[in-house]
Amino acid sequence: MASQHSLITSDALAVGLTRPAMRFGVTHAAIVGNAMLTMEVFLLTHNLLALAIALPVHAVCALMCAREPRCFELMACGLRYRWPAWCRTYGFWHASSYSPLTINLPNRRGGRPEITEVLP
């Protein structure tokens, strides 16, 4: 009987089809972010040499994209789903919580008041 590994084939073309569009070794999201950062630094400093910050930022982005081409999309997805939960509940629980329950603290006598409304 043939081993299981000999039955599995991989196609190099499929890997190339799943990669994001890239220019100069980085994704378009990285190019736009680099341009925005560079322009903000230039507008704050009013110095043409501030435009040179684009090269080291591009190098860092290229190193990140060399390891995982979709790293900026994955970071954006993580921020989109984790940041709102972290902001809403971290101040009280010191952790990320997805519970829709309201915080019902006891009064001075130790009793808890009834909850009349549910907060989103």
Pairwise CA distance, residues 24 & 53, whole Å: 16
For the stretch 28-52, pLDDT in tens is: 889 999 999 999 999 999 899 988 9
pLDDT for res 72: 87
Predicted TM-score (pTM) of the model is: 0.58
For the stretch 73-86, pLDDT in tens is: 888 888 777 776 66
Number of alpha helices (DSSP H) and beta strands (DSSP E) in the chain: 5, 2
Angle in degrees, CA 86, 33, 40, rounded to 5: 100
The 10 Å Cβ neighbour count of residue 24 is: 11
From 28, 71, 35, select the one nearest 53 (Cα to Cα).
35
